């Protein structure tokens, strides 16, 4: 299960007739169903590529109960270590299934050939701990999930550790790549232990999903999550400078013009955010507490200009 670019880098190594290759173009429900139905009988599935290839491979392994192997071609998202599949259904993300890879191959040679921008964006799913933890802590007792202090402390520690690796992440060096993947593994362990992802997924992700919904576009996940983290840290009054500095030190692009996000897209997304999280039934976050009026919309949009 792969994508055109990683496939072009390994074509010589794929034995004809022994392996069946599928290219994944999206994680829309209809596309995944089409793949699952059209695939021949196979003994195992290997995903090579970005987040979409990882998730499509996980989907097939889950549906068919066959062994799963994953080789991320970039460390742009944590999809290689997570156990569920982020299916896009009617403009929303729905997590399905449960599957554990037999092996995750972290091939520095393959990963370092991806655009640096993609690999640096991998920080987004860790930097999100900063705002997600705030949401989790403040939501407990206000309708949100109960806080598990030990898990929250571990997540905070993962964020502090990755902060020290900003220069390696910027350089996309083997230590930087390894630090990202190992941090994903630790965050995933926390999520498995507590039964939800609130240590790393909160309002910053909700903003990213809402932006995709409003614009009908897909973005580099870690970049929009980072934009969301800067915005939500502003709204939380939660050291937005820390998020900006870490993102900039690691070379993550997050400013709206760099992502092709217009001021109109920003304003509309922020206005629709409260309704979006309500309709999607997302866990408690600062969005439930804040009044997002026109003054807040323009304050936030100005803050990330
Ligand atoms: Zn994420």
* C-alpha neighbours within 13 Å on the C-beta side of residue 72: 27
Provide CB contacts within 8 A for 22, sequence distance 6+: 1, 2, 35, 38, 39, 56
Q: List the structure tokens of 12.
A: 């010589």
Cα of 76 from ligand 1 centre, angstroms: 10
Cα of 221 from ligand 1 centre, angstroms: 7
Cα of 35 from ligand 1 centre, angstroms: 24
Cα of 205 from ligand 1 centre, angstroms: 6
Cα of 201 from ligand 1 centre, angstroms: 7
Cα of 254 from ligand 1 centre, angstroms: 14
- Of the candidates 254, 231, 262, the one whose C-alpha atom is nearest the C-alpha of residue 120 is 254
Cα of 13 from ligand 1 centre, angstroms: 31
34-38, 42-46, 52-56, range with the lowest pLDDT: 34-38
On the question of pLDDT at 12 being above 70, the answer is: no
- Region 43-67: mean pLDDT is 95
On the question of pLDDT at 13 being above 70, the answer is: no
Phi, psi torsion values for 195, nearest 5 degrees: 85, 10
Give the CA distances from residue 143 to residues 135, 148, 289, in Å, rounded to whole numbers and listed in that order. 11, 15, 11
On the question of pLDDT at 288 being above 70, the answer is: yes
Cα of 42 from ligand 1 centre, angstroms: 30
pLDDT tens digits, one per residue of 133-185: 999 999 998 878 899 999 999 999 999 999 999 999 999 999 999 999 999 99
On the question of pLDDT at 201 being above 90, the answer is: yes
Cα of 78 from ligand 1 centre, angstroms: 7
Cα of 184 from ligand 1 centre, angstroms: 10
Cα of 95 from ligand 1 centre, angstroms: 12
On the question of pLDDT at 127 being above 90, the answer is: yes
Give the separation between CA 77 and CA 223, rounded to whole angstroms: 10
Cα of 225 from ligand 1 centre, angstroms: 7
The span from the first CA to the last CA of the chain, in angstroms, equals 39
Cα of 15 from ligand 1 centre, angstroms: 34
Cα of 216 from ligand 1 centre, angstroms: 18
Cα of 291 from ligand 1 centre, angstroms: 25
pLDDT tens digits, one per residue of 129-142: 999 999 999 999 88
Angle at the Cα of 202 from the Cα atoms of 148 and 56, rounded to 5 degrees: 105
Cα of 198 from ligand 1 centre, angstroms: 11
pLDDT tens digits, one per residue of 61-117: 999 999 999 999 999 888 899 999 989 888 778 889 999 999 999 999 999 999 999
């Amino acid at each position: 299960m792969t994508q055109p670019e990683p496939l072009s880098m390994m074509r010589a190594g794929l034995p004809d007739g022994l392996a069946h290759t599928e290219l994944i173009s999206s994680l829309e429900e209809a596309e995944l169903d089409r793949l699952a139905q059209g695939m021949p009988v196979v003994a195992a599935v290997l995903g090579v590529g970005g987040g979409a290839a990882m998730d499509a491979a996980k989907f097939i392994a889950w549906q068919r109960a066959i062994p799963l192997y994953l080789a991320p071609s970039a460390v742009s998202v944590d999809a290689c270590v997570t156990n569920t599949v982020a299916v896009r259904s009617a403009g929303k993300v729905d997590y399905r299934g449960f599957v554990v890879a037999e092996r995750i191959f972290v091939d520095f040679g393959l990963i370092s050939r991806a655009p640096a921008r993609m690999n640096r964006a991998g920080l987004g799913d860790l930097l999100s701990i900063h705002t997600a933890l705030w949401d989790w802590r403040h939501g407990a007792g206000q309708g949100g999930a109960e806080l598990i202090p030990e898990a929250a402390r571990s997540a905070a520690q993962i964020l502090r550790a990755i902060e020290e690796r900003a220069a390696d992440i910027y350089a996309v060096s083997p230590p930087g790549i390894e630090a990202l993947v190992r941090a994903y593994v630790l965050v995933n362990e926390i999520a498995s232990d507590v039964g939800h992802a609130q240590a790393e997924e909160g309002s910053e992700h909700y903003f990213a999903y809402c932006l995709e919904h409003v614009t009908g576009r897909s973005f580099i996940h870690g970049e929009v999550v980072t934009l969301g983290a800067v915005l939500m840290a502003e709204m939380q009054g939660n050291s937005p400078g820390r998020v900006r500095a870490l993102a900039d030190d690691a070379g993550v692009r997050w400013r709206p013009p760099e992502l092709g996000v217009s001021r109109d897209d920003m304003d509309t997304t922020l206005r629709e955010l409260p309704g979006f999280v309500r309709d999607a039934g997302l866990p408690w976050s600062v969005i439930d507490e804040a009044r997002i009026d026109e003054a807040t919309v323009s304050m936030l949009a100005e803050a990330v200009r």
